[in-house]
Chains A and B, each alone.
Chain A
Amino acid sequence: MAPILEIKNLYKSYGSLEILKDINISIDKGDFLVLVGPSGCGKSTLLNCIAGLEDISGGSILIDGHDMTHVSPKDRNIAMVFQSYALYPTMSVAKNITFGMKVRGVDQATQKRKLDEVAKQLQIEQLLNRRPGQLSGGQRQRVAMGRALVRDPKLFLFDEPLSNLDAKLRVEMRSEIKKLHHNLGASMVYVTHDQIEAMTLATKIVVMKSGVLQQVGSPAEIYNRPANLFVADFMGSPAMNLIPAKVTCDASSSRIEIARPDADPLVLVDQSNGDLPEDVIIGLRPEDIVEAGYRSGQNVQTATCHVDMVEPAGADTFVVSHLGGKEVTARLHAETQATPGQDLNFAFDLAKVSYFEPDTGRRLN
């Protein structure tokens, strides 16, 4: 079966400014692809290119096996939900949803039937005669989704659809989109700058920076095995600890030395990774540094560190210690007795460690 969306060697530039460089992505039917990256990384431009709202400078875009590179948006068999929702302000909700069908000359009876279906699915039946101006943010969001759903397209495109909602509503709508994806089995491409949204929604994540793909993979891959320092730092909150270290190693294990202020270097021994260069940056997520005794495994190392700061966050307590010239965050359980100034015994789970080359940022293990 052909991939539902295939992007080959896509380039996009404005004059001499290259916005997107050699983008290659392929997703299968039923995939939920999330494009994530900081603002200005080109993710929205890429989405607009997929929709046909922007021309591309090179490469090709195939949707369901058909070359759509030079096809106008209306013929690409897509539907799109926008950040500002882009509801037609002077039309009622019902007209907003049926406008596309009206333009295409779909007969009245079918329009009515599809409208009812979608309205029921999204529970907006009681809103059909209102104007967008009379709706709340969440309701507008639903109508925008309704406008997309009614098309029954091959591919759904979402351009930061939740970023105008308040935090609580965002979480609600997020799970609703996920449910929708599950129930419809639809293929979706979703742009966001919010890495949590990316993690929760995606079956496949594309991390972008400055118009270049950084990593493509499942949420677990991206989270556990970031391809470079940028991805490691961007995905996850609080961010992955990235600590400069010196390594001496043989073929199968490594001795890691991390400098500390006013103390001997912290020494950890990784039993399963060898053959590393002398200078590395080691990456450990906060949840992989815990209070000694709370984590066991064959590659767990314990060491005593100075506690500089304690930040209770309800479910967890974050503890900050200075290691290798960085503030390193550990994620402790909520009942921890750690206090600032104290020396505490930590467990470092080196089964989860990532190594990066300091100059290129490339992953080493």
Chain B
Amino acid sequence: MTVWLERHLPKMVLAPSFIAILIFVYGFIAWTAWVSLTRSRLLPRYDIEGLIQYERLFAAPRWDTAMNNLFIFGTLFILISMALGLLLAILLDQKIRTEGAIRTIYLYPMALSMIVTGTAWKWMLNPGLGVEAMVRRWGFEDFTFDWLVNPDMAIYTVVIAGVWQSSGFVMALFLAGLRSVDEEIIKAAQVDGIPTFRIYTAIIIPSMAPIFLSAFIVLSHLAIKSFDLVIALTGGGPGNATDLPATYMYAMAFSRGDIGQAASSAMVMMAVVFAIVVPYLYSELRAKND
């Protein structure tokens, strides 16, 4: 008995967490997938009707806007965050005396809630009293910066706030990467008389490929899940101009009472995440097991 207990105790200890994950992650995904194939509205129904929810979803102009926005926001957010993060990392890599303090300043937005970030930028970007008013007061009477209330431009304010929040984090990743490059290789290049700029472009940056990948994965994951930032910054408006899949899903689930649409949009979001993350995770786990 005690030998049996000794042998199986570790499994028994892990079991509750594993069962919880099975139910609350995999079971729930299955539930959502199931409901997305039904005619559920205010209450879930369980008779499978095929892909009608997905047909409705892809026919809905608001979903169309949401996916478009995700594409614009995702692309710009990832590209700018990466570029800015890399630039900052390289700047900080030049033996800066106050590096610790600077790094703290660049990174602190990551500690904030997206709601706080959204609130702050909403205030600064509001045309009446924010940046626009400030510049006009400086004498540029015709200056306009009304992106926040302009349906065509509002999504870019989300990019601005998102980049502000996340680029410092990308910098931290890249900085760690720059520091992990084998010092002897760099010394060898210096002895060979290769200019600093070329050392970066030809040696250091290519060797950081895995970090680029990590940063890309994290940022795309953040972009797809983005919900709070839009809610706090624009509330999805003006109109539905800054809707993202996440806000669409939430609206369907909790204010429109359209469970079928909520489920199908959630499934599409998951598909997008998994298309990006699964190959990465798979290769990571494989590499580790070798």
Interface positions of A (Cβ within 8 A of B): 70, 72
Which secondary structure dominates where chain B touches chain A? helix
> Shortest CB–CB separation between residue B164 and chain A, in angstroms?
42
Distance of A70 Cα from B2 Cα, bound (Å): 12
Distance of A26 Cα from B101 Cα, bound (Å): 67
User: How many CB-defined contacts (below 8 Å) exist between A and B?
Assistant: 4
Distance of A76 Cα from B179 Cα, bound (Å): 50
- Chain A's closest residue to B6 (CB) is A72
Complex contacts, B3 vs chain A, CB 8 Å: 70, 72
> Shortest CB–CB separation between residue B1 and chain A, in angstroms?
12
Interface positions of B (Cβ within 8 A of A): 2-3, 6
Complex contacts, B2 vs chain A, CB 8 Å: 72
- Chain B's closest residue to A70 (CB) is B3
> Shortest CB–CB separation between residue B267 and chain A, in angstroms?
38
> Shortest CB–CB separation between residue A282 and chain B, in angstroms?
44
Distance of A181 Cα from B216 Cα, bound (Å): 60
> Shortest CB–CB separation between residue B41 and chain A, in angstroms?
52
Distance of A72 Cα from B6 Cα, bound (Å): 9
> Shortest CB–CB separation between residue A101 and chain B, in angstroms?
20
> Shortest CB–CB separation between residue A55 and chain B, in angstroms?
9
Complex contacts, B6 vs chain A, CB 8 Å: 72
Complex contacts, A70 vs chain B, CB 8 Å: 3
Distance of A72 Cα from B3 Cα, bound (Å): 7
Distance of A74 Cα from B190 Cα, bound (Å): 59
A to B CB contacts below 8 Å, 4 in the list: A70-B3, A72-B2, A72-B3, A72-B6
- Chain B's closest residue to A55 (CB) is B7
> Shortest CB–CB separation between residue A83 and chain B, in angstroms?
23
Nearest 4 CB-CB pairs, A to B?
A72-B6, A72-B3, A70-B3, A72-B2
> Shortest CB–CB separation between residue A155 and chain B, in angstroms?
20
- Chain A's closest residue to B3 (CB) is A72
Complex contacts, A72 vs chain B, CB 8 Å: 2-3, 6
> Shortest CB–CB separation between residue A103 and chain B, in angstroms?
14
> Shortest CB–CB separation between residue B93 and chain A, in angstroms?
32
> Shortest CB–CB separation between residue A66 and chain B, in angstroms?
16
